[in-house]
Chains A and B, each alone.
Chain A
Amino acid sequence: MVGKNNSILDMVDVHARYESVPVLRGVSLYIKQGEMVVLVGRHGSGKTAILKAICGLLPVVKGEVLFDGLSIQGLPPEKIVGLGIAYVDEMKLLFPAMSVIDNLILGTYHRHRRERRDHIEQDIETVCQLFPVLAERKKQYAGTLSGGEQQMLAIGRALMSRPKLLLLDCPTLGLAPKLAKKVVQALSELRDHGIAILLIAQKLQQVVDVADRGYVMERGEIIREDSPQELLYVGEHSRFVSPKT
């Protein structure tokens, strides 16, 4: 099922707060299947809050979040991942004292036992094709991987859940330019396979050629929607994108 605009995700007038501090004020956005949408804005503008509100880590106090036509606000994260939304946190949230392979296997946790058993080998193979370094590090503890490898593992683990929508918080943060390019390329391939992607870009330049649309956030509100190229051009001449982005 899809929502209006043929979208897989719709946020309508969403308000959310961290304790008593409002972090989202009437946010409305949509993402279509197979679309890559980028969120940009200054630090503290509410980008991460949007991702957390979608995946259930931040309670929505007003408004509606529709995924595949179903209202999902109020559901806990462990239910939301089962609907087909995978979230990759900025901190990656890997299981450091567990091996790479165990981290990947846990990505399938919410899937039915039979489905997991029938497809797990194939899915691990797919992730390892996307990120070959993970195949070489299968038995290594996740906590001993480099920053780039951990990022690939976090994305790979999210893919093991076979998501329809992938939420990524700064997937290229701290990566060398070459590695960042590799991660962006992998995301582009995923998008081409029909996965919707909503990501926060630390540097808009890194995704400008692959993203389809972008939203600019400021103080918990969306202040502009445009093509990434346009946002980059405008961003270089305005104040909504911090020097880092």
Chain B
Amino acid sequence: MDFPNALQIFISGANLGAIYTALGLGFFVIYSVTRLVNLAQGEFVMLGGMLTVSFYKMGIPLVPSITLAVIISGLAGAGLYRFIIYPARGYSRLTQLLLTVGFVFAIQGVALLIWGWDFRSLPAFFNTPCIQLWGATIFGQTPWVIGATLVMVIGLFFFFGRTIQGKALRACANEPLGARTMGVNIDRMALYSFIMAAGLGAVVGAMITPLTMTSYSMGWSLTIKGVLAAFVGGINRAEGVILGGVALGMMEAAAAGMVPGGYHNVIAPGILIVVLLLRPHGILAIPGRVE
């Protein structure tokens, strides 16, 4: 393989890795607090993308469009928790998981009614042009995707590591009863985690729309990719999710560049099966803390 091709694969991998990492972080935030895998996470990505396109097409500038999309998606996240998960808080994890699947179909149905079947797109942010680098092409949107993911990662590390609210969120997952005796309202923390994850998902949706386009049905496939990233790396550690996302993106890009036909689509699920067989909690997970 020549250098430009290898570089192109690396750039595509970095782009996909950033997307999968950002997707996985949404799962991480909710799992960290509630121990629930929210299978509706991809729908927040879809909502973020569709809403950003809608607001942008109405003539609202890009940044306010994204902001509005994040706020509305955050409210949808709050609604998912308050009206679906919270009333079922005493139920089994499996029931709660199925409820998030129910929410997936509900939100897809609403999105279909509002936006129809069509795919929608946005231009690269601020019309950033394509860049040619040593024979490889970097799409104008790619630096924005990678940059936004870096900001999210740094922001989450700061939030969870340095702020008392972030520590309280982690404490809820660590020892819920202990957190309550410290004055932490666990239900409120869970609500915050859903709002935060939905907001993160919406940012991802807005970022990837210029690259992948968006439609009412895009959420589910993104959920699968996010789950893969989170579980391969270890859903209970941000470092694990980052590793999982980057590894998945790089491998998928490498497979797409080297494996003929559509076989590269087998790579990601194949990796998940192998990793989960060898490391049931993920590569970097803290053992015993994944349910």
Q: Which A residues contact B (CB, under 8 angstroms)?
A: 55, 57, 76-79, 81-82, 86-87, 89, 92-98, 102, 105-110, 116, 157, 161
Question: B212 — which chain A residues lie within 8 A by C-beta?
Answer: none
Q: Report B140-175 CB contacts with A as 1/0, cut-off 8 Å.
A: 000000000000000000000000100110110011
Which residue of A57, A76, A95, A108 has the most chain B CB atoms within 10 A of its CB atom?
A95
B171-A95 in contact (CB<8A): yes
Which residue of B164, B177, B182 has the most chain A CB atoms within 10 A of its CB atom?
B182
Roughly how many angstroms separate A95 CA and B182 CA in the complex, as a whole number? 11
Known: A78-B185, A109-B168, A116-B164. A95 touches B180 (CB 8 A): no
> Which residue on B lies nearest to A160, using beta carbons?
B182
A106-B167 in contact (CB<8A): yes
B182-A110 in contact (CB<8A): yes
> Which residue on B lies nearest to A110, using beta carbons?
B183
Question: A108 — which chain B residues lie within 8 A by C-beta?
Answer: 164
CB-contacts of B173-205 with A (<8 A): 174-175, 177-185
Question: A79 — which chain B residues lie within 8 A by C-beta?
Answer: 183
Q: Which B residues contact A (CB, under 8 angstroms)?
A: 164, 167-168, 170-171, 174-175, 177-185, 286, 289
Question: B185 — which chain A residues lie within 8 A by C-beta?
Answer: 76, 78
Given contacts A89-B177, A94-B178, A116-B164, 16 further A-B contacts (CB under 8 A): A57-B180, A57-B181, A76-B185, A79-B183, A81-B183, A82-B183, A95-B171, A95-B178, A97-B170, A98-B170, A98-B174, A105-B167, A108-B164, A109-B168, A110-B182, A157-B182
> Which residue on A lies nearest to B172, using beta carbons?
A95
A95-B184 in contact (CB<8A): no
A98-B167 in contact (CB<8A): yes
User: Nearest Cβ distance between residue A76 and chain B, in whole angstroms?
Assistant: 8
A109-B184 in contact (CB<8A): yes
Question: B164 — which chain A residues lie within 8 A by C-beta?
Answer: 105-106, 108-109, 116
B181-A106 in contact (CB<8A): no
Contact of B175 among A76, A77, A81, A93 (CB under 8 A): A93
Roughly how many angstroms separate A89 CA and B178 CA in the complex, as a whole number? 9
User: Nearest Cβ distance between residue B281 and chain A, in whole angstroms?
Assistant: 13
User: Nearest Cβ distance between residue B277 and chain A, in whole angstroms?
Assistant: 25
Question: A97 — which chain B residues lie within 8 A by C-beta?
Answer: 170, 174, 286, 289
Roughly how many angstroms separate A134 CA and B286 CA in the complex, as a whole number? 24
Known: A109-B182, A109-B184, A110-B183. A93 touches B167 (CB 8 A): no
Question: A105 — which chain B residues lie within 8 A by C-beta?
Answer: 164, 167
Contact of B183 among A92, A102, A161 (CB under 8 A): A161
Known: A102-B167, A106-B164. A96 touches B183 (CB 8 A): no
User: Nearest Cβ distance between residue A181 and chain B, in whole angstroms?
Assistant: 26
Roughly how many angstroms separate A110 CA and B180 CA in the complex, as a whole number? 10
Roughly how many angstroms separate A108 CA and B168 CA in the complex, as a whole number? 11
User: Nearest Cβ distance between residue B199 and chain A, in whole angstroms?
Assistant: 23
B170-A78 in contact (CB<8A): no
Question: B174 — which chain A residues lie within 8 A by C-beta?
Answer: 95-98
Q: 7 A–B contact pairs at CB < 8 A? A: A81-B181, A89-B181, A93-B175, A93-B178, A95-B171, A106-B164, A109-B184
Known: A98-B174, A109-B168, A116-B164. A161 touches B289 (CB 8 A): no
Question: B182 — which chain A residues lie within 8 A by C-beta?
Answer: 78, 81, 106-107, 109-110, 157, 161
Contact of A77 among B171, B181, B286, B289 (CB under 8 A): B181
Question: A106 — which chain B residues lie within 8 A by C-beta?
Answer: 164, 167-168, 171, 179, 182, 184
B180-A98 in contact (CB<8A): no
Roughly how many angstroms separate A55 CA and B168 CA in the complex, as a whole number? 19
Roughly how many angstroms separate A89 CA and B167 CA in the complex, as a whole number? 20
> Which residue on B lies nearest to A55, using beta carbons?
B181
A94-B184 in contact (CB<8A): no
B170-A109 in contact (CB<8A): no
Question: B170 — which chain A residues lie within 8 A by C-beta?
Answer: 95, 97-98
Question: A94 — which chain B residues lie within 8 A by C-beta?
Answer: 175, 178
Roughly how many angstroms separate A98 CA and B183 CA in the complex, as a whole number? 17
Roughly how many angstroms separate A98 CA and B289 CA in the complex, as a whole number? 13
